[in-house]
Amino acid sequence: MFKHQKWLWGVVILLLIISSPGLINRWNVETASNHYEIIIPYDEILITAQEMDRPIDKVLETLKDAGLTTVSLESVSVNDLKDQKIVSVYDEAEFAKLLEFVASENTIVEKGYYITIPEDLRHQQLLSDISDIEMVTFAEKPFYYLPSMSDYSINTPIGYDTVAIDTVTNHGFMLTLRYENSANEEFNEKTVEQLLTLKNDQISGLLPSGEEILGFGQGARDVWIDELTNAGYFFYTIEGSKLKGETNLARVADYDIVRLLSIDVNKEKKLTLSETVDRTTRAVKERNMKAIFYHIKMSGKSDPNFEIKKLINPSLKISGTAEEHLELATSYLKNVQERMPNQFVLGSPKLFDKVVVPSWVTGLVLLAGVLFTYLAAGIFKNNKLRLLGALGMLAIAAAYFILNRLVFLQGFALIIAVITPIYAVITSANGSTKIGKIALEYLKAVGISLIGIVIIIGLLNGNGFITGFETFRGVKLVYVIPIAGVLVYAAFVIKSMLSKDGVRITDAVKLLNKDVKYWHLLVLLVVAAIGYFYISRTGNYGAVSSVELTVRQWLEDTLYARPRTKEFLIGFPFFVLALYVMGISRKWGVGLLVLGVIGFLSMVNTFTHLHIPISVSLLRSFYSVVLGFIVGLVFIAIFKVGYRYSAKLRKE
């Protein structure tokens, strides 16, 4: 039987080696995409310049010298031009009152908005392109007139300010254009036309504004996406802000997407400079993000609604000065460059090359997964169950190739992810009091886990996965099922050993009636603390204390990638301790495997975050495995002291 298993393991490993070009391709693609950019919105730069009473060119020069690469620009409205003091805007009542002080042959004031003619011809052209706008004359002076019944309002985006575009690009910045989806298909068509006209080497990125992608819910959506990508544009997606139609956009654009992290110090008022820099470097090196959208801190001085807001909230006050906020922005830019690892280059973001995964590679990995399942099912000691499990996985693999549905691949990967930690722990649960033998069993469990991981990431491979649009499904199940599986296994082992020892139910009742000792409470307290910590840390948004944050950051700064706490402080150490205790008493040690499996399921979970580079996940897991074993040895030393002390007490 052992020789049979050895032969099957050889086949599994051989299949994974032959199929390795898929993962090697992903590694090379992730490594080559090492450029990142920092974006600051134009309107915030403009407000800062106005509050400092400095030309915007001077502020742009300051930011350029500090390392800013990119400026974002939104499509402007008539109201925006008014706020920038490019035009004056009057409604009919205001305009009629204005005419009382001048002699004018034309005194009929229609309902709508009257807009002064801007000095720059490019701004004039921008306003003239509004389909409903008219030219009118009062007191021998021309005005633009926008009827109140027009499809346009003074807040409707009318196009990109080419004067601002020239100002930005003349300083050598890349320009990211922000777009907002309109319910009016004609408006969207006009936006696309202008984007195609504006495209040049300095204008390539399109960043959404609002809750929908361009053309969402409209028939021309995919056509517009194709036109823009063919022209050389790429699209951004904002981390933590999923848009309607975003996944479809990514698929139509063939995943030519740049992941962006937004940092807004105006919303997160307690965010320090150091924390902002740490968040930035972590996003770039660990999460495949190639764009950081940084908001300059605003004082509120230029907010036209500031006085109204102050009436509602009397404690509201001007926050700092524009000079201080510009200095904060430049400090951020400089600190990011100092803290960023050397392999990352500040500049225009580089799209991922295509991760090519041939069908034969996927087929070989699926076959390896079928054999792996057959081997894992051996823990049941039932050949029929082993065969049934393998045939079930074979059916899922066949369904994927026949129906070409990604969900079958995701389902296959989920099953592998769930059974891997269970199999790794149970098959390596051979207790010993010798550290050498414990180390061998520990490495065996790690090796089995790595084979399961290679199958998972070998299947879920491609640009859709590394950009985060296609994902591993069933993360919560990976956290729950392995623990339940090992718990059942431990219960069966304990029941079996108690039966051999002649222990009956009545004995268990007597045990429950015994006096509770202080050390009993201590053990329960430790188990409860571990359970609470595990549950609170599960997922991406668990509560983290300030002390833990400090330790985490130190580990990250020292080791590049921080090992996961659940692995090197809980799971792996308790697995090592379990092996040692099982060497003394299998009955008592097997229960610790329930805590031990946490390390292996967490390691599997690390690699299911497919947008994280393989290199980072490997490094993080390596640290966890090494540190976890060392901490496990410390646990053994503590256990030895406690065991000797309890033995001494029993003798007394």
DSSP secondary structure letters along 531-543: HHHHHHHSSSS--
Co-location of 381 and 524 in the same domain = yes
Nearest to 609 by CA among 540, 534, 548: 540
Select from 139, 157, 175 the last residue of a domain.
Answer: 157
Q: Over the stretch 18-40, which tens digit does the pLDDT of each residue have? A: 999 999 999 999 999 999 999 99
Tell me if 469 sits within 8 A of 247, measured CB to CB: yes
pLDDT at 518 over 60: no
Q: What is the pLDDT of residue 541?
A: 46
253-263 mean pLDDT: 93
Co-location of 581 and 496 in the same domain = yes
Query: Higher pLDDT residue, 451 or 267?
Result: 451
Co-location of 570 and 505 in the same domain = yes
DSSP 212: B
- 113 in helix, strand or coil? strand
Q: What is the pLDDT of residue 313?
A: 58
| Backbone angle region of 471, left / alpha / beta, with phi > 0 → left and psi within -120 to 50 → alpha | beta
Q: Which two tokens stand for residue 414?
A: 């989920």
Q: What is the pLDDT of residue 149?
A: 80
556-579 mean pLDDT: 90
293-318 mean pLDDT: 66
Nearest to 631 by CA among 483, 482, 442: 442
Strand segments, DSSP code E, in 28-171 are: 35-41, 70-74, 89-91, 112-116, 134-138, 141-147
pLDDT at 625 over 90: yes
Query: Is residue 599 very low, low, confident or very high in pLDDT (cuts 50, 70, 90)?
Result: very high
* Long-range CB pairs of 339-345, under 8 A, 24+ apart, other chains included: 339/277, 339/278, 339/281, 340/36, 340/280, 340/281, 340/284, 340/285, 341/281, 341/285, 341/560, 343/34, 344/34, 344/35, 344/36, 344/284, 344/285, 345/34, 345/35, 345/36
The domain tally of the chain equals: 3
Entry pTM: 0.86
621-628 mean pLDDT: 97
Cα gap 652→639, rounded to integer Å: 20
Select from 279, 311, 346 the last residue of a domain.
Answer: 346
Select from 296, 329, 346 the last residue of a domain.
Answer: 346
Cα gap 168→71, rounded to integer Å: 7
Query: Higher pLDDT residue, 186 or 479?
Result: 479
Least confident of 227-231, 381-385, 428-432, 563-567: 381-385
Calculate the alpha carbon distances from 511 to 524, 587, 648 in Å.
Answer: 16, 16, 22
367-382 mean pLDDT: 94
Cα gap 363→24, rounded to integer Å: 17
Q: What is the pLDDT of residue 355?
A: 94
510-518 mean pLDDT: 51
DSSP 335: H
Query: Is residue 591 very low, low, confident or very high in pLDDT (cuts 50, 70, 90)?
Result: very high
Cα gap 507→502, rounded to integer Å: 9
Tell me if 146 sits within 8 A of 130, measured CB to CB: yes
Residues forming a β-bridge with 116: 143
Mean pLDDT taken over the chain: 88
Question: Which residues are within 8 A (CB) of 40 and not within 5 positions of it... i.e. 6 or more apart?
Answer: 63, 68, 70, 71, 72, 293, 294, 295, 296, 329
Query: Is residue 511 very low, low, confident or very high in pLDDT (cuts 50, 70, 90)?
Result: very low
Cα gap 64→50, rounded to integer Å: 18
Q: What is the pLDDT of residue 306?
A: 52
505-530 mean pLDDT: 54
Query: Higher pLDDT residue, 93 or 318?
Result: 93
Co-location of 286 and 385 in the same domain = no
Nearest to 174 by CA among 353, 56, 38, 58: 38
466-482 mean pLDDT: 94
Cα 580 versus chain centre, distance: 39
pLDDT at 180 over 80: yes
Co-location of 133 and 18 in the same domain = no
- 398 in helix, strand or coil? helix
Tell me if 160 sits within 8 A of 73, measured CB to CB: yes
Q: What is the pLDDT of residue 643?
A: 77
Co-location of 633 and 610 in the same domain = yes
Least confident of 13-22, 166-175, 548-557: 548-557
Query: Is residue 204 very low, low, confident or very high in pLDDT (cuts 50, 70, 90)?
Result: very high
Cα gap 19→16, rounded to integer Å: 5
Q: What is the pLDDT of residue 148?
A: 84
Co-location of 249 and 163 in the same domain = yes
Calculate the alpha carbon distances from 490 to 266, 487, 589, 593 in Å.
Answer: 52, 5, 9, 8
Tell me if 233 sits within 8 A of 206, measured CB to CB: yes
- Can you spell out the DSSP letters for 228-279? HHHTT-EEEEETT-PPBTHHHHHHHTTT-EEEEEEEETTTSTT--HHHHHHH
Give helix then strand counts, H and E, for the chain: 28, 12
Calculate the alpha carbon distances from 189 to 132, 139, 221, 453 in Å.
Answer: 16, 37, 10, 46
Taking residue 106's Cβ as centre, other Cβ atoms within 10 Å add up to 11
Residues forming a β-bridge with 179: 208
Question: Which residues are within 8 A (CB) of 258 and not within 5 positions of it... i.e. 6 or more apart?
Answer: 205, 234, 235, 236, 237, 290, 291, 349, 351
Q: Over the stretch 386-431, which tens digit does the pLDDT of each residue have? A: 999 999 999 999 999 999 999 999 999 999 999 999 999 999 999 9
Q: Over the stretch 124-157, which tens digit does the pLDDT of each residue have? A: 998 988 888 899 888 788 999 999 887 788 888 8
Nearest to 632 by CA among 603, 604, 592, 602: 592
Co-location of 439 and 416 in the same domain = yes
pLDDT at 614 over 50: yes
Co-location of 474 and 608 in the same domain = yes
Q: What is the pLDDT of residue 228?
A: 94
Nearest to 78 by CA among 190, 176, 179, 159: 159
Co-location of 145 and 218 in the same domain = no
Taking residue 105's Cβ as centre, other Cβ atoms within 10 Å add up to 8
Residue type, 408: F
Q: What is the pLDDT of residue 301?
A: 63
Query: Higher pLDDT residue, 329 or 502?
Result: 329
What CATH number should be reported for the domain holding residue 255? 3.20.20
Query: Is residue 314 very low, low, confident or very high in pLDDT (cuts 50, 70, 90)?
Result: low
Q: What is the pLDDT of residue 348?
A: 92
Co-location of 116 and 69 in the same domain = no
Q: Which domain holds residue 301?
A: 34-75+159-346
User: Percent of the chain scored above 90 by pLDDT?
Assistant: 65
pLDDT at 498 over 80: no
Co-location of 258 and 370 in the same domain = no
pLDDT at 365 over 50: yes
Sign of CA dihedral 93, 94, 98, 99: negative
Query: Is residue 509 very low, low, confident or very high in pLDDT (cuts 50, 70, 90)?
Result: very low
Cα gap 550→499, rounded to integer Å: 49
Q: Over the stretch 269-299, which tens digit does the pLDDT of each residue have? A: 889 999 999 999 999 999 999 999 999 998 7
Query: Is residue 1 very low, low, confident or very high in pLDDT (cuts 50, 70, 90)?
Result: very low
Nearest to 170 by CA among 55, 6, 81, 276: 55
Q: What is the pLDDT of residue 104?
A: 61
Q: Over the stretch 84-95, which tens digit does the pLDDT of each residue have? A: 889 999 998 888
Tell me if 553 sits within 8 A of 339, measured CB to CB: no
61-90 mean pLDDT: 94
Q: Over the stretch 219-231, which tens digit does the pLDDT of each residue have? A: 899 999 999 999 9
pLDDT at 575 over 50: yes
